[in-house]
Amino acid sequence: MATVTVGVLALQGGVAEHLSLLKRAAPQVSPDDRSFHFLQVRTAAELAKCDALIIPGGESTTMSIVAQRLGLLEPLREFVKIQQKPVWGTCAGLVLLAEEASAVKKGGQELIGGLDVKVIRNRYGTQIQSFTADLRLPFLAETQTPSSSAVQQGGEAEKPFRGVFIRAPVVEKVNVSSSAREEETGKDKEPVEIMGVYQRQKSTSQRKQEQDALPAGGEATSTDEDIVAVRQRNVFGTSFHPELTTDFRIHVWWLKQVLDAVKPALN
């Protein structure tokens, strides 16, 4: 059986946590989990061995600076945009995979790109304002298999995913880039899919301002939707940290996407 090599960018952040959940998820995707090889990536040579890559949560500016010093930024852009191999970024990883980012530190930061979105960093405040929230992620229904524990436990795949938000970004705008990506890849650009949202409670003052602006009889809604999971072609991004939970359903789903993407090369 051919081996699929999945790398985790190991410059900073939740590397060990992702590797742990990948190893737990692999048997749900392939009964013979030896078909997957998981690798920490710190060099261009290690990246070249990978069929897919996770860019973990951490500090996006630090990760960008370290990648640049190690000569990894251009190989990463090649991996994502030209080779179009499957890539998943969590939190800081989502920032790095965005084509645009706001609320960056003075002087800005280098991005890898690949997702035609604009993100805002630290949308919910500082480290001490971190929180968890239940998220409805319909795509997780795709993780169901006859042998999966989700099915055996009866509807487990339908339960909310407990998202961990730590200085999390959110997607401000989708489909923001020009035709440059089409020129780079030689392919028509696919739209960004919104894969998950967080129902954020509005503040009292925000609701009052909106209520005052409505026609008589109108009623302001109590929640706003923040985009916290997106996908475009080979690139997937989440604002939250699945790796900081014991729930590996997203890892199962993503590994299935990886297998589907690399299958032609394995045949």
- 18 counts as catalytic: no
Query: 121 a known binding residue?
Result: yes
Contact 237, 96 (CB under 8 A): no
Query: 99 a known binding residue?
Result: no
Query: 182 a known binding residue?
Result: no
- 241 counts as catalytic: yes
Helices (H) and strands (E) in the chain, counts: 9, 12
| Of 157, 117, 116, nearest in space to 139 by CA | 157
Rounded to whole angstroms, the Cα distance separating 77 from 64 reads: 12
Q: Angle at CA 94, nearest 5°, toward 258 and 103?
A: 170
Query: 59 a known binding residue?
Result: yes
Task: Tell me the residue type at 195.
Answer: M
| Of 99, 105, 49, 39, nearest in space to 75 by CA | 49
Query: 58 a known binding residue?
Result: yes
Exposure string (b/e) for 194-219, b if CB count within 10 Å is 16 or more?
ebbbbebeeeeeebeeeeeeeeeeee
* Catalytic-role residue among 91, 99, 172, 251: 91
Give the helix, strand, coil percentages of the chain, each rounded to 5.
Answer: 40, 25, 35
* Catalytic-role residue among 17, 18, 99, 241: 241
* Catalytic-role residue among 50, 172, 243, 251: 243
Query: 219 a known binding residue?
Result: no
Contact 170, 123 (CB under 8 A): yes
DSSP 8-state assignment for residue 217 = T
- 91 counts as catalytic: yes
* Residue positions annotated with a catalytic role: 91, 241, 243
| Binding site, annotated residues | 58-60, 121, 166-167
| Binding site, annotated residues for L-glutamine | 58-60, 121, 166-167
